[in-house]
Amino acid sequence: MEIIIGADYDEISKAAAAAMAKVVRDKPTAVLGLATGSTPIGMYKELIRLHRDEGLDFSQVTTFNLDEYVGLDGSHDQSYRYFMTENLFKDINVKIENTNVPAGISDDFKASCQAYEEKIRAAGGIDVQVLGIGSDGHIAFNEPSSSLASRTRLKTLTQQTIDDNARFFERPEDVPVYCVTMGVGTILEAKKLILLASGAGKTDAVADAIEGPVSSMCTASALQLHPDSAFYVDLAATGKLKMLEYYQWVQAKKSGAPAWTEPPRTEAPTDVRFIDPAADLPSSPGMTVSSVI
């Protein structure tokens, strides 16, 4: 597990975009798992800039989004399909037919959720999955008590998530109560996980996810089980991290660490390995990058 601390939202957004861009450059046919919400917007802006200014090519990528509200179709301005069009798809050269968002309207959710899982498998699996984190520690809409083995399915949102998301809707009562979401098990099958967390409202969730026990009560803690996961956290969200100084110490000591070639994907999460996160990051003099493996 890698912990990357940026001074602010802008820095973690650029650092995460650089990591995403590397995946796309290394594999132009990459399958990208995408998230909505306010946190990834800065990262999407940077990906758009990389496309416009540096020719980052999305023409062969396939995308799968994490979740969608039940009852909203893609033309609704609060649907996640609409969000993706507005915040990313319309400004890069991805083929719209290669973009996938779970169906929020279906006659048979069981079948449409299974078909979504099947489509991910048929695409060869997700190469990199972007995640935000809810103030209750959720990833995608896997609310507390979601099974860590769960697959794409219907979920009922918590009141806390409904309240958190009410800011996007005209009236609080307009926030849907149900959603379709990839499961934690689905997410853990992605080859690489990038979680973004920003702001003081996420301090408890970030601490629980990184330093708490692996628990269905904080589904982001499942990232501890993944061999290639990274948390991109701005300083404002680090307030409750007990080991913050250690993460910074690890980074400070990185230049003296023995060289390491490409690590095997299947190693146990407890293995020690050294990587150079700076290789994936834009140079930014003010940036504090800390990582722990």
32 token code pair: 């990208």
Comparison of 74 and 263: residue with beta carbon closer to ligand F6R? 74
Smallest gap, in angstroms, from Cβ of residue 11 to ligand F6R? 17
| Among the residue ranges 21-29, 94-102, 134-142, 144-152, the one whose residues contact ligand F6R (CB under 6 A) | 134-142
Active-site option among 67, 68, 127, 234: 67
Comparison of 51 and 138: residue with beta carbon closer to ligand F6R? 138
Q: Which residues pair with 6 in a beta bridge?
A: 234
Query: From residue 29, how far is each of 58, 120, 217, 262 by CA, in Å?
Result: 8, 14, 35, 20
Residue 46, φ and ψ in degrees, nearest 5: -70, -40
Residue from 81, 138, 191, 226 touching ligand F6R (CB under 6 A): that is 138
* Binding of ligand F6R by 98 (CB under 6 A): no
143 is catalytic: yes
| Among the residue ranges 29-37, 47-55, 84-92, 109-117, the one whose residues contact ligand F6R (CB under 6 A) | 29-37
Residue from 24, 88, 140, 222 touching ligand F6R (CB under 6 A): that is 140
163 is catalytic: no
Smallest gap, in angstroms, from Cβ of residue 138 to ligand F6R? 5
Residue with the two structure tokens 């103030």? 135
| Among the residue ranges 14-22, 90-98, 136-144, 272-280, the one whose residues contact ligand F6R (CB under 6 A) | 136-144
* Binding of ligand F6R by 223 (CB under 6 A): no
107 is catalytic: no
Is the Cβ–Cβ distance between 210 and 231 less than 8 Å? Answer: yes
Determine whether 79 is exposed, middle or buried from the number of CB atoms within 10 Å of its CB (0-12, 13-18, 19+).
buried
Bridge-based pairing state of the strands 67-69 and 178-181: antiparallel
Classify residue 157 by its DSSP letter: P
* Binding of ligand F6R by 66 (CB under 6 A): yes
Angle between helices 41-54 and 9-26 (to 10 degrees): 50
Comparison of 38 and 106: residue with beta carbon closer to ligand F6R? 38
Single out the residue of 29, 62, 54, 222 nearest to residue 140, CA to CA: 222
* Binding of ligand F6R by 132 (CB under 6 A): yes
- In angstroms, rounded to a whole number, what is the distance separating the alpha carbons of residues 53 and 51? 6
Comparison of 34 and 250: residue with beta carbon closer to ligand F6R? 34
26 is catalytic: no
Dihedral over alpha carbons 252, 208, 136, 138 (to 10 degrees): 70
| Neighbour tally for 52: CB within 10 Å | 11
Q: Which residues pair with 154 in a beta bridge?
A: 180
Comparison of 46 and 67: residue with beta carbon closer to ligand F6R? 67
Per rule CB under 6 A, count of chain residues that contact ligand F6R? 13
* Residues carrying an active site annotation: 67, 136, 138, 143
Please give the residue ranges that form the binding site for ligand F6R (CB under 6 A): 35-39, 66-67, 132-134, 138-140
